[in-house]
A = this chain, B = another copy of it.
Amino acid sequence: MAKKKARRQPAAAPEAAPDAAQLTAQDHKTLDALREMADGVVDAAGRSRPPHLDIPSRSLSNVRYNKAKRFIEMGRGTNRRELFNLSQAKSYMQTMLVGSGCKQLIQQGKTTSIRGLYYLLKHTIEGTREETFDDQADCDPIIEDVEVTLNALREELHVYASNRGSMVGNVVVNDSGDEIDCSRMGSGGYTIPSIVEPEVIRFVKVEADFVLHVEKDTVWRRFNEDKFWRKHNCILTHGQGQPPRGVRRMLHRLHHEHHLPVYCLLDNDPWGYYIYSVIKQGSINLAYESRRMAIPGARYLGLRSKDFERCSLSPSVTIKLNDNDIKRIKQIRNYPWFENKPAWKKELELMLRNGFKLEVEALISKDISYVTEQYVPARLQDEDFLD
């Protein structure tokens, strides 16, 4: 064992490392959970029982919409994974391996990407021709298994997703010791990091009245250029399409810790509605993270199917719905969280009747700054949102 480690991990033996990183309270909590997972093996061995893990099931049948909490959450179903079961031995080993990799990361005070964790753990199992993981797709679900088993966010396991999305506006954050005034970030803005947990990002001053989240960086740029956030005292974010985890978590923290309303300006198409649904209710795939990601109080500010008439848009700027769009609209219509929402029903019906979709950029046909100077201010003033 020692020999194998020597080849694989020259800087290993973190347990004994004299330069052990400063651990946060959260790190200690996560390490405790990881140790508990490992203790289960020792315990089972001591009692001559086959070691196993009970992993909460991430299948669709174990996911439900919680009407009281107003987000998607996991049920109590679990799947047992056993070491002494030929069909489960490998994934059991992989689960423990991911656990040990995360332990190493936390103890070293370092973080890595899912790609990095994969490389950290990938090796040929000694005395065999078997790889611990054949490829990334082999590793990703195991990372999710560990998250859900330990009830820890991926970020708490020191694994990060991509840095994507930017923020400007009347908010000052302390990011890893640096104070960043998002009202002084020029045209580029502050890149929202993948890990925005309180250990890394602390809010120093939040003077904004609300958050406006837009879908695309190109639209965000229009709002920033027009200094919309200054005129309306808000925070402006985007997530380059489907917002990555860091952006969702940032919105969640601003909403829950600082009670800021979150308004979403997205395209009038099934993809825009899906993005909204994920921001608001969470996603089916990551249902176990809804508690810290979903924002049931988020509001949909636009674009709406009725905007074609309301804003007197030209037929030139409409985009015909394709078969896939129509299928997606019908799926979304059946989401349980839209069940008692007549306004959404009406919206989706109208989109089907229109037979077209509208991008936020279509408003440019009125004027370059129509969206920042007329459309959004009017929606805000009339409180004309979808819930």
Q: Classify chain A: how many residues form its interface, as a range.
A: 35 or more
> Which of A76-84, A188-196, A252-260, A345-353 lies at the binding interface?
A188-196
Interface string of A1-31 (1 = CB under 8 A from B): 0000001111100000000000000000000
Residue A61, interface by CB 8 Å: no
Q: Are B187 and A176 interface neighbours, CB within 8 A?
A: yes
Q: Are B187 and A190 interface neighbours, CB within 8 A?
A: no
> Which of A35-43, A51-59, A114-122 lies at the binding interface?
A114-122
A250 to chain B, nearest CB (A): 10
Given A112-B222, A221-B113, verify A187-B200 contact (CB < 8 Å): yes
Q: Are A112 and B160 interface neighbours, CB within 8 A?
A: no
**3 smallest beta-carbon distances between A and B, as pairs:** A175-B186, A113-B218, A11-B367
Q: Are B365 and A122 interface neighbours, CB within 8 A?
A: yes
Residue A364, interface by CB 8 Å: yes
CB neighbours of A166 from chain B (8 A): 163, 191
Cα A363 to Cα B116 in complex, Å, equals: 9
Q: Please give the residue numbers on chain A whose beta carbons come within 8 Å of chain B beta carbons, in ascending order.
A: 7-11, 105, 108, 110-113, 115-116, 118-120, 122-124, 131-132, 160, 162-164, 166, 173-180, 184-195, 200-201, 217-218, 220-222, 225, 240, 314-317, 359, 361-370
Cα A220 to Cα B113 in complex, Å, equals: 11
A171 to chain B, nearest CB (A): 13
Q: Are B192 and A188 interface neighbours, CB within 8 A?
A: yes
The copy count of this chain in the complex is 2
Q: Are B368 and A315 interface neighbours, CB within 8 A?
A: no
Cα A7 to Cα B218 in complex, Å, equals: 25
Q: Helix, strand, loop or mixed for chain A's interface?
A: mixed
Q: Are B123 and A314 interface neighbours, CB within 8 A?
A: yes
8 Å CB contact of A9 from B115, B193, B367: B367
Q: Are A221 and B184 interface neighbours, CB within 8 A?
A: no
Cα A37 to Cα B218 in complex, Å, equals: 28
Cα A278 to Cα B363 in complex, Å, equals: 35
Given A218-B160, A365-B120, A368-B120, verify A185-B178 contact (CB < 8 Å): yes
Cα A297 to Cα B201 in complex, Å, equals: 38
CB neighbours of A177 from chain B (8 A): 186
Q: Are B314 and A111 interface neighbours, CB within 8 A?
A: no
A257 to chain B, nearest CB (A): 18
**Nearest neighbor of A184 in chain B, beta-carbon distance:** B178
CB neighbours of A365 from chain B (8 A): 8, 119-120, 122-123
Given A8-B314, A188-B190, verify A225-B119 contact (CB < 8 Å): no
Cα A113 to Cα B362 in complex, Å, equals: 12
Q: Name, among A187, A218, A314, the residue most crowded by chain B CB atoms within 10 Å (CB to CB).
A: A187
